[in-house]
Amino acid sequence: MSQSKSALRRNGFTFKQFFVAHDRCAMKVTTDGILLGAWAPVAQVQRILDIGTGSGLLALMLAQRTADNVTVDAVELDEDAALQAQENINQTPWAHRVRVHSADIQQWVNTQHGRYELIVSNPPYFEKGVECRTAQREQARYTTTLDHAALLACATDCITEEGFFCVVLPENVSVAFSELAASTGWHLRLRTDIAETENRPSHRVLLAFSPQPGECYSDRLTIRGPEQQYSESYAALTRMFYLFM
């Protein structure tokens, strides 16, 4: 998504209540992350886990959306990204309840005893392909360091019985991910297909899985209207974050 120059400071993205610097992170602030952070269900949540926090975007969005007694654990494998996430969080009103952990999530979960009502991840989804310019970028883009089976296993170890595990994925990846989740005991409960405009096919999917079976609610959201302005539904979802809404 393009950003107006007035919304930029240093190398990052300015939201209504916080700024996210991302110059030391392989993956920048994107529409994918903003959608997930605004969409993930937060009702009755007490503890949140952000797997692969990067710049800290999701952790901060979810902290803004929740009450002051809600805590967020943000885990990031890349040390530079974890440091930048901590710096970003320190400049916000929620620094006292967001904790950044510079760690491999697969090792970190083995040291934890509490569980989470909400787990979110904007995960890598490319199979190993063309070599990236940096190892940091490769780690963020490819499933080599955290494949989807390992991600689902980590979420399984940390979720409460009534909790939700939420991801954003390309539409063509979401089918295999959903099938893998179902085969390991997860139940799809919420699905929102994302399209750039009404006449274009969906290109991203927001998914919420739970250990508990139940009805799955599905809908579709378009980002832009006929005149290329933001659609009413997208504006309603993200209005509390964007400066220009």
Q: Which residue has the higher pLDDT, 201 or 145?
A: 201
Mean pLDDT over the full length of the chain = 90
Beta bridge partners of 193: 205, 220
Q: What is the dihedral of CA 193, 196, 199, 205, to 10 degrees?
A: -10
> Which stretch of 73-82, 117-126, 208-217 has the lowest confidence by average pLDDT?
117-126
Burial of 130 (C-beta count, 10 Å sphere; 0-12/13-18/19+): exposed
Check pLDDT > 50 for residue 60. yes
pLDDT score at 26:
86
CB 123, CB 151: distance < 8 Å: yes
Burial of 120 (C-beta count, 10 Å sphere; 0-12/13-18/19+): buried
| Angle, CA of 121, 234 and 244, to the nearest 5° | 100
Helices (H), the chain: 31-39, 57-65, 79-90, 105-108, 135-141, 148-158, 171-183, 232-238
> Which stretch of 114-118, 130-134, 196-200 has the lowest confidence by average pLDDT?
130-134
CB 50, CB 116: distance < 8 Å: no
CB burial of 150-163 (b: ≥16 within 10 Å; e: otherwise) equals: ebbebbbebbbeeb
Strand, helix or coil for residue 163: strand
- In degrees and rounded to multiples of 5, residue 79 shows phi and psi of -65, -40
Q: What is the per-residue pLDDT across 120-169, written as a single tens digit (0 to 9) for each? A: 999 986 554 444 454 444 443 444 568 999 999 999 999 999 999 999 99
Query: DSSP letters along 70-115, please?
Result: -EEEEEESSHHHHHHHHHHHHTSTTGGGEEEEES-HHHHGGG----
- Mean pLDDT in residue range 63-67: 98
Q: What is the per-residue pLDDT across 227-240, written as a single tens digit (0 to 9) for each? A: 889 999 999 999 99
Q: 84 vs 8, 26, 176, 184, 234, CA distance in Å?
A: 17, 11, 33, 34, 28
Of 81, 30, 80, the residue nearest 55 (C-alpha): 81
> Which stretch of 7-21, 84-98, 203-217 has the lowest confidence by average pLDDT?
7-21
Check pLDDT > 80 for residue 216. yes
